[in-house]
Amino acid sequence: MSKTIGYVPQGGVCSRFIEVVLDDNNIVERVQFVGGCAGNTQGVAALATGRPAEEVVAILEGIDCRGKGTSCPDQLARAIRGAIEAK
């Protein structure tokens, strides 16, 4: 059974909402960003899809956008980490 996570990004990033679907094995089934730079968020979503959630977190965590201390990819990593810890 898949688990859908809704996450409101923090830290002044461009995206306003992130939805992530994880399967029972913590594989990312789908990622959708609302807002943000369309090409970048679609690219990040495509690269995350089909990968283990922990791998996506390890790759994206800590990416910074323009000195904000976070970014849309980092916020995706935070959303996924929260979902993993909540299981």
All domains of the chain in start order, with CATH: 3-86 (3.30.390.30)
CA-based Rg of the chain, rounded to a whole angstrom?
12
What DSSP designation does 52 have?
B
CB 56 within 8 A of CB 45: no
Q: Can you tell me the distance from the alpha carbon of 3 to that of 14, in angstroms, rounded to the nearest whole number? A: 25
Helix ranges, 1-87 (H)? 38-48, 53-60, 72-86
pLDDT in tens, 31-80: 999 999 999 999 999 999 999 999 999 999 999 999 999 999 999 999 99
The pLDDT value given to residue 1: 84
